[in-house]
Structure 1
Amino acid sequence: MPGGPPQRPNTPPGGVRRPGGPGGPVPPPGGRPPAGGPGGPRRPGGPGPERRPGEEPTDLLPPVHQSTPREPELLTHREDEVELEPFYEDDEYDYELTEEEARAVRRKKIWRRVRRTSYITLGLMLLAPVVAFAIAYQVVEVPNPDEVANDQAKTITILYADGSEMAKITPKGENRTMVKYEDLPDSIKKAVFAAEDPTFETNVGFDMRAIARAAWYQATGRDSGGSGLTQQYVKKATDKDAGTLTRKFNEMVAAYKMSKQQDKDDILTAYLNTIYFGRGAYGIKTAAKAYFDIDDLKQVTPSQAALLAGMIQNPGRSEEPAYTQERWEYVMGQLLRFNWIDQAYKDAEQFPAMAPLQEESDLSPTRFHIKQQVLREMEKMEWGMEKAQTLGVTVHTTIDPKMQQAAEDAVAEVMQGQREELRTSMSAIDPATGAVKAYWGGNTTGLDYQTGTLQEPGSSFKPFDFVAALKEGQGAGEVYDGSSPREFPGRGKDNPVRNSPGVACAVPKQCSVREAMVKSVNTVFFDMAIKLGTGKVAQAAFDAGIPPVVEVNGEQKKLLVSETEGAPDGNISIGGGQTLVRPFDITSAYATFAARGVYHEPFFIAKITDGSGAAVATHIDNTRSAFDPDPKKSQDIADNVTDVLKAIPTSSKIPCADRECAGKTGTHELHGTVKNAKAWMAGYTPTLAAAVWLGTDSGNQPLLTPTGGDIYGSGVPGQIWKRFMDRALAGTPAEKFPKPNPIGRLDPPKPTTTAPPTTTTDKQDEDRDRDRNNTTTTQAPPTTTTQAPPTRPTRPCGIVGCPSTTSTTDEPDPEPNRNGAPPVGG
């Protein structure tokens, strides 16, 4: 065509633009409009077939005449842009988000950070223990057995309250006898494995399953060691037993290191040469001698080895029969479980007989029991023999040497010439603190008659009836029917409650609590306990200081409950039947009266010091308001009790010299007789409380004077108590009891009738608790019924007290006395 090709109208400067560029797209061949219509390429999702740019033919366009040079075109082509999901970084967004989208974004960011933190934390958790273990492995030291043995041989010094020396506990040279591995019989090795670490021969120094099991036991409130034998050796050798994760970790590392550096044979030998077995014995050779009087270890039987291994867990309880039996049975069971003994041997074996305890002490037998109490308290303070001898501590006790001597002299003087079967014990406590000032558990190193026996307290328990009444607002002037005999619901007509012979209120039908306490009228207190509820009497005793549960000879005993562990029967009112207490706890309870309603837990140790004199353990006072959460109300109750009890020492002809004192005597009758099997005197001044018990080992023998007279509370026990109190308090200020804030009526209303005179006027000045001067025997009055009492099983009485009898009535019957009368708390 002349003049060149025609110029396309409306062509923008610079030539034709490609799709997406300024000026819009280039029309396809044939003049067809671009897909999607004018204005640009078709958008995804628009009408028409999907465009495939790479498959379309390329059109050659005619040259364009333009005023400016054309830029060279790229040799590539662009595909249609694809919409991508926007990526949001921090708070920069390409468009404004809806509220829901913003929440989703925030959730994604939070979870992303949580994931990253979790990954880091998990990595540290996996890596940190490894690093810590590696570092600790280089730092910890494996203990040397010879050095450990030398550190265990330090002396323990026990002091009186004034700082003078009471005793020394010095390990002897033979306690350091070291044995070789070849001297250990297989019976001992297997028993120790069974008791302490069954996987010892294969583990790496510790057992992770045992540790996990111990952690579970602790989490569920149960006890478990969890430490393997090697760990135990490390703990004992390093004297580090704090219950911390750091200590446990270091112990595991040291045990592992020891297992890597030493043979298992050497570790076991070191362990058995240094571990404490109780009875003052360090090392297996000394333990075999102490427990079974055996010098050659190869003579130790598997049964004996089981007992020795069982005592490793708690060697301080070696003299508790129930505990040693339990541990022996456990180890024997473990030996059978791991096939180290067979069933026939286990069935044939009985608990091995232990040799008598050979205590080397510079203390007299009477003060031996003080030492034992001190050692028990050290265990409670987590300062057992092993730990104490490693440091060589000094134990400062609360025992006053003057008062202790007064107690020993009083017992010796009054008991001189008495019958051989009689046994006695006493203790004295400072009511202001709970400190035990004197303790006399017996004159031999055998049974401790203060804390090792359970006894019926008789009428010494009647003050707790009064406490229960005072808590209900009934005072000393409250009037009850003191007639005798009296029938009570559930007991039957053939089983009435009787007063002691010769005991009667001025007006029996209108007997005040004050008169009943001084004369020890059984029917009044039985009636009182039944009306108030026997459970309230038991609670009053618990409040005063009688423990609900005590440990006697290694056995746990629940006190002041019925045979079904419910509320006690009516005999609790007069301290008979199933009412059993330790003599020491009666002293503690009466100290609460002296402290005006404040209970302080008794204690023997004031503090423990190391070689430099620094205190490593100090007594912590466990105190509380006894009878009411309000200290003032508790004080009022105690003062009202004291106001009544302070007349009894004088009426019993055992008054304190030149000072006020209060107290209560008591007796418990011998089953089926009118004789007494137990006798008591418990009392106090504002500054000192003491109680004396008298009985026999069998519990079924009558208490008789050398001439055959009956012994009552004001007799031998009362005389011991009076002599002790007068001498112990000599030279101290004579303090008086405070005047009580009355609860209810202090005195009874005037009687409306006149009582007939009693027929035994010679007993009016004596304690109506059947306490006389041990010169006459009183016979029971004839019964008023002809019906025979129900038959009850008879069981022997022992040192832990007479067993209760059974009954088919609604109210459990007491032990029968005098044709069905209850035991008299005299």
Structure 2
Amino acid sequence: MLVPVHQSLPREPELLTHREDEVELEPFYDEDEYDYELSEEEAKAVRRKKLWRRVRRTTYVALGLMLLAPVVAFAIAYQVVEVPNPEEVAAGQSKVISIRYSDGSEMARIALGDANRTLVEYEDIPDSIKHAVFAAEDPTFESNLGFDMRAIARAVWYQATGRSSGGSGLTQQYVKEATDQSDATLTRKFNEMVAAYKMSEQQEKPDILTAYLNTVYFGRGAYGVKTAAKAYFGIDDLQQVTPSQAAVLAGMIQSPSRSEEQAYVEERWNYVMDQQLRFNWIDSAYRQAETLPERVSVGEQSGLSGPRLHIRKQVLDEMARVGWDQEKVQKIGVTVHTTIDPKMQQSAEDAVAEVLNGQPPDLRTSLSAVDPASGAVRAYYAGSDGVGQDYARDTIQEAGSSFKPFDLVAALQNGKGLGSTYDGRSPKSFDIGTDEPLVIRNASDPRNTCGERCPVRKAMEMSLNTVFYEMVLEIGTQPVADAAFAAGIPRTVQLTGRPEDKLLVNKETGGAPNIGIALGGGEAQVRPFDMASAYATFAARGVHHEPFFVSKITKDDGEAIYQHVDVSRVAFDSDPVKSQDIADNVTEALKPVLKHSKIECAGGRDCAGKTGTHELPDDASQNSKAWMVGYTPTLSASVWIGKDAGNVALQDADGDPIFGSGLPGQIWKKFMDNALAGTESGKFPKAKPMGQYENPRPVVTTTKSTNPSRDREPEPDEDNNSSAPPTSSTTTPTTTRPPRPCTGLVCPTTPTTTPTSDEEEPGGPGNNIRPPGGG
């Protein structure tokens, strides 16, 4: 008889002294309890039952651990973490930052001092500041447990998906500030959350808010709201801070390093004002009536003023880029060793002051000087007002003829040489596929002395536009842009208040730039600082070194926490020797330019460089920008002059147009002579010939051609070693002048003929007919 599967009769009562363990009855017994063989379906059912039983038990255990583990971890962390003391935190934020010149002498000290670290009481904080800070950072502060679970969950999700996010309420932000922990990890977030909860349990909300506002960083070197009110608005009494001004202060908490970016300040102010309106802390009438409050000039405790404040900003910005921003280093105290040479910096300031003395006050200028061997910035003059516009690194301008060396680099890369010839006569018509031929005119050589077979080296010396225009038409505009990038012009720049700019590209298509780049017009827009860096690549014989301001950062005990590492590359060719040859050939072409422009370096020192102007679009007789960029074997410098208004006439005190060889050239020469006085006078190496290197034999021309086609290269037997220009025409030269002004690069082709003026551009021969775009 088989034992029934299901028990039908109740069990007999058990004796109290004899109890067996009760077992759960299952619909089926285990396979080994059967004394008969189970069917296949019954065996499967038994296995499924056992499998799911294990799964359920494992799940219960896992869920239990998941629920219990955070509780245990939270409990342990609660006992371990400590709530930072606000007074101790404030004391740790007052360390000194010493900024030094390259010779070790002190440039500036950034020391907040006791006066700037006055701690406020809760009663001193007006509602305008409280509400603005709540609106900007933590609207639920007064009711939450020290953290916002929704914000935490969002931060966890962003972390898991590789993005970054805030997620911290005011209490957590205080803990982060006090513990100086900023690593983007879930562990740090968890510890912050526990500490914030503990702080909320132990302290009242007013105490937490007071601690936060006494220690948070607002930018402008200001820790704490009292310091910030003084730094931004010159206000000592917090009760005088308006809701609108408070919105500026609160808006800076998120990214205090951007406190001087006008567009960002306005964006954050609008956000905080809108948040205050949303939570009924201001009314709509106030919101509509208010505009962005005016801020006072940057408070300066370092002793710097004028143009050297721009150096301070560049140093602090570079420190932030390498992971040592002002907020961080003020907590440990550091010495920042810069590359600025005090003698050269003084020479730059003196040169600008002397040359521009008595000139129109609306002229703006910059001077940047770079060591070619390392990229170290030796002098930096970005404007006379250190809290105003930076005219060296925060503006882009048409480079004019100072861009022509990059034309030459591209030509050398394409097999041309300094002796290659092009038609140097002016005016000259070019068929570029437009309805009317394009007419290009030279700003110098009115008698067409270089002729129809003009060597490139002579065209560079005289800055003949027809030659470089024809050259770039032949080799293409993209190789020119690539040569500029290789030399050191960045592909993109970020200017204050503007989206990222792509340089030297067609603004409509994003492709190769237009032909105007040949003469440094149109899309040949660059930062003046970058031109000094790019020309330094020529001086360094084809090796580009990334420019830098900070050589190292050390702690008080001398330990280096940051050391600059040279970032360099071979510029013009993958073969270092060829890159060197290209740079040397460019230098060979640029050496005669300074003598031609009458701005040679003193004492016979080897110098090379190029002047440049950008003319007004609607008046070819006036310039809107003027340049001089040049170098010795040990120093490269660029000088730019323009106006805030942009494309307006650039005139000197006598009302005459300003050319590159004029005021910019005089500033450059005075700076170079004084900065390098007493230093060894190095020599440029002799260039190794590339392509057609020697000039052709002089020829006599009797007529002037406007044929747009290329003249043939001279045959080898036509070459000689003479560098003299071709003899001039035997006929009286004339110029072809359009009946209406040129627009852009296109000039009408219906000419009238008039005798050429003998008027000379300052510093060299010229005429009163100038090319559209660059000069």
Contact preservation (8 Å) 2:90, 2:215: yes
Aligned partners of 2:637, 2:56: CA distance in 1, in Å?
A: 70
Correspondence for 2:520 among 568, 575, 578: 575
- Correspondence for 2:564: 619
> Deviation digits for residues 552-586 of structure 1, max 9, x if unmatched?
33423413334425233222222223432221111
Correspondence for 1:655 among 600, 605, 614: 600
Aligned partners of 2:480, 2:460: CA distance in 1, in Å?
A: 15
Aligned length: 694
> CA shift at 1:438, angstroms?
1.2
- Correspondence for 2:200: 259
| Long gaps (5+) in structure 1 | 1-18, 21-78, 87-100, 102-107, 758-767, 769-779, 791-803, 809-817
> CA shift at 1:666, angstroms?
1.0
- Correspondence for 1:83: 37
Aligned partners of 2:447, 2:58: CA distance in 1, in Å?
A: 86
> CA shift at 1:511, angstroms?
2.6
Contact preservation (8 Å) 1:434, 1:601: yes
> CA shift at 1:204, angstroms?
2.6
Larger deviation, residues 217-226 vs 604-613: 217-226
Change (3 A) 1:303 1:489: same
SS for the counterpart of 2:230 is: helix
> CA shift at 1:436, angstroms?
0.6
- Correspondence for 2:232: 291
SS for the counterpart of 1:617 is: strand
Q: How does 1:84-103 map to 2 (within 5 A)?
A: 84=38
Aligned partners of 1:453, 1:475: CA distance in 2, in Å?
A: 34
- Correspondence for 1:8: none
> CA shift at 1:696, angstroms?
2.9
SS for the counterpart of 1:635 is: helix
Contact preservation (8 Å) 1:213, 1:226: yes
Counterpart check, 1:510 vs 2:510? no
Correspondence for 1:326 among 262, 267, 278: 267
- Correspondence for 1:591: 536
Change (3 A) 1:738 1:806: closer
Contact preservation (8 Å) 1:428, 1:691: yes
Counterpart check, 1:541 vs 2:484? yes
Percent identity among equivalent residues? Answer: 62
SS for the counterpart of 1:203 is: coil
Contact preservation (8 Å) 2:137, 2:170: yes
Q: How does 1:607-646 map to 2 (within 5 A)?
A: 607-646=552-591
> CA shift at 1:645, angstroms?
1.6
- Correspondence for 1:159: 100
Contact preservation (8 Å) 1:504, 1:521: no
> CA shift at 1:113, angstroms?
11
Larger radius of gyration: 1
> Deviation digits for residues 432-473 of structure 1, max 9, x if unmatched?
221111112233333322223332211111111222223333
Match for 1:575: what amino acid?
A: G
Aligned partners of 1:693, 1:123: CA distance in 2, in Å?
A: 71
SS for the counterpart of 1:555 is: coil
> CA shift at 1:753, angstroms?
4.9
Contact preservation (8 Å) 2:489, 2:526: yes
- Correspondence for 2:774: 825
Change (3 A) 1:138 1:731: same
> Deviation digits for residues 164-214 of structure 1, max 9, x if unmatched?
111111214332232232333333222212222233233332334323434
Change (3 A) 1:548 1:80: closer
> CA shift at 1:250, angstroms?
2.5
> CA shift at 1:429, angstroms?
0.9
Match for 1:175: what amino acid?
A: N
- Correspondence for 1:722: 669
Contact preservation (8 Å) 1:396, 1:606: yes
Contact preservation (8 Å) 1:397, 1:606: yes
SS for the counterpart of 2:152 is: helix
> CA shift at 1:592, angstroms?
1.8
- Correspondence for 1:476: 418
Q: How does 1:409-424 map to 2 (within 5 A)?
A: 409-424=350-365
Match for 1:499: what amino acid?
A: N
Counterpart check, 1:560 vs 2:501? no
Contact preservation (8 Å) 1:145, 1:274: yes
Contact preservation (8 Å) 2:445, 2:462: no
Match for 2:772: what amino acid?
A: P
- TM-score normalized by the length of structure 2: 0.80
Aligned partners of 1:807, 1:187: CA distance in 2, in Å?
A: 61
Aligned partners of 1:303, 1:483: CA distance in 2, in Å?
A: 64
- Correspondence for 1:487: 430
Aligned partners of 2:283, 2:746: CA distance in 1, in Å?
A: 43
Q: What is the alpha-carbon root mean square deviation over aligned residues? A: 3.9
Counterpart check, 1:204 vs 2:145? yes
> CA shift at 1:605, angstroms?
0.8
Larger deviation, residues 567-576 vs 606-615: 567-576
> CA shift at 1:248, angstroms?
3.3
Q: How does 1:371-770 map to 2 (within 5 A)?
A: 371-445=312-386, 446-485=388-427, 486-493=429-436, 496-503=439-446, 506-558=449-501, 559-564=503-508, 566=510, 567-656=512-601, 657-671=603-617, 672-750=619-697, 753-754=700-701
- TM-score normalized by the length of structure 1: 0.76
Aligned partners of 1:646, 1:547: CA distance in 2, in Å?
A: 26
- Correspondence for 2:127: 186
Contact preservation (8 Å) 1:477, 1:748: yes
Match for 1:431: what amino acid?
A: P
Contact preservation (8 Å) 2:402, 2:520: yes
Change (3 A) 1:451 1:528: same
Contact preservation (8 Å) 1:142, 1:258: yes
Aligned partners of 1:116, 1:464: CA distance in 2, in Å?
A: 75
Change (3 A) 1:81 1:114: closer
Change (3 A) 1:737 1:387: same
Change (3 A) 1:648 1:335: same
Aligned partners of 1:626, 1:219: CA distance in 2, in Å?
A: 41
> Deviation digits for residues 248-271 of structure 1, max 9, x if unmatched?
333232222212211222111111
Aligned partners of 2:500, 2:34: CA distance in 1, in Å?
A: 93
Change (3 A) 1:524 1:806: closer
SS for the counterpart of 1:616 is: strand
Aligned partners of 1:80, 1:706: CA distance in 2, in Å?
A: 116
> CA shift at 1:392, angstroms?
1.6
Larger deviation, residues 237-246 vs 167-176: 237-246
Aligned partners of 1:476, 1:116: CA distance in 2, in Å?
A: 86
Aligned partners of 2:34, 2:129: CA distance in 1, in Å?
A: 89
> Deviation digits for residues 266-317 of structure 1, max 9, x if unmatched?
1111111211212232222332233233344344333322221111112222
Contact preservation (8 Å) 1:704, 1:711: yes
Change (3 A) 1:628 1:676: same
Contact preservation (8 Å) 1:458, 1:574: yes
SS for the counterpart of 1:227 is: coil
- Correspondence for 2:182: 241
Aligned partners of 1:628, 1:172: CA distance in 2, in Å?
A: 53
Match for 1:456: what amino acid?
A: E
Aligned partners of 2:470, 2:59: CA distance in 1, in Å?
A: 72
| Long gaps (5+) in structure 2 | 3-32, 705-724, 726-732, 749-766
Match for 1:659: what amino acid?
A: R
Match for 2:468: what amino acid?
A: F
Q: How does 1:310-325 map to 2 (within 5 A)?
A: 310-325=251-266
> Deviation digits for residues 505-562 of structure 1, max 9, x if unmatched?
6453323322221111112222333333323322322222222222333423413334
